[in-house]
Amino acid sequence: MSDALYTDDIDMSVLAGQKLALVGYGNHGRSHALCLRDSGMGPIRIALRDGSPSRKTAQDDGFEVVGLEEAAGWADLVAILAADEAHRQIWTEAIRPYRKPGQALLFCHGFSVHYGFVEAPEDGDVILAAAKGPGGAVRQEFEKGSGLIGFWAVHQDVSGQAAAIAQAYLAAIGSGNVGIFETTFREETVSDLFGEQVILVGGMVALARASFDRLVAAGVSPRMAYIDCVHEIKYLADLVQDRGIAGMFKAISDTAEFGAREVEADIAGPGLMQAFDQAMARIEDGSFARKWVETYEAGNAMVTDREQDEVLPVEAAGRDLRARLKGAKK
């Protein structure tokens, strides 16, 4: 495992004067663009499809907005920061046919390159600059004088400076304030997908919903069940982030710790390990990635799922609680 790099360790001049086109202006695109500009990088142009709802936001932020094809012919480095599932269409239809020779490609996740949705051109660098956390948090932490932990990787180094460019890019969006580490496209992709599927999103949601339902079935009010199974997740997550799992145990009541240790082996039993193995298999063999991109390209992905979420009893309990808490966001 490599040691952390910080801004003082990094040659920022490799990005100086480079024409940067950022594709997408959602959470990642907007955060990266604002941080890069504040760090003195650029010139920067925001590349958006015709009719993009993000166009006005980017223009109001003071950026020049251009079409994807124009950006592809102008930039020295194109950072594809749109949603992973859109990369294949963006690359094949709007970037690859018009790209400037020798142009570098940068991604904030390894997904599209690792699974082959974007086939690397032979004449340009292909690099990863991943700030680990939600896109919006990149800007939030930067404005505090901090950043998100960054990971860089090189898929293809034509210029001989691919690693230096990735490191400088991460430093420019704030990661150099907290630590930048080396990884690979595969490692970042597999870890990112597995973590969000089995614990950060999928696992947490499954446990929260199932535990809420079980308490309500036992005669507990939905409000109390929601507080104990959903609302308090944030406080425990904050403890884990600040102190680690062992530190979290020390911070909570002995009753809570003892009860958790009593049930942990039952929850993390053979069934859970089997579910983990199945999730990992789908990630490793690419079947999850193919299914997701094909679902996205077919249109209306997850519309029905999201509509069904809204009518679940756990959501009704949450809305009611938030409405009654003074100063809480609805």
Q: Could you list the active site residues?
A: 109
| Distance, CA of 229 to chain centre | 25
Distance (Å, rounded) from C-alpha 104 to C-alpha 114? 17
The phi-psi region of residue 171 (left if phi > 0; otherwise alpha if psi is between -120 and 50; otherwise beta) is: alpha
Q: What residues are paired with 42 via a beta bridge? A: 16
Residue 167 sits at φ, ψ, to 5 deg, of: -65, -45
Distance (Å, rounded) from C-alpha 133 to C-alpha 147? 10
Give the residue among 185, 47, 90, 83 at the shortest CA–CA distance from 129: 185
DSSP 124: S
Q: What residues are paired with 80 via a beta bridge? A: 23, 107
The token pair at 57 is 């936001």
DSSP 326: T
Q: Could you tell me if 41 and 18 are in contact, meaning their C-beta atoms sit under 8 angstroms apart?
A: yes
Tokens 């049930």, located at residue = 263
Which strand (E) or helix (H) includes residue 10? none
- Helix intervals (H) in the chain: 27-38, 55-60, 68-74, 87-90, 111-114, 135-143, 162-172, 185-195, 202-217, 222-226, 233-251, 254-267, 270-284, 287-298, 303-310, 313-324
Between the two ends of the chain, the Cα-to-Cα distance in Å is: 43
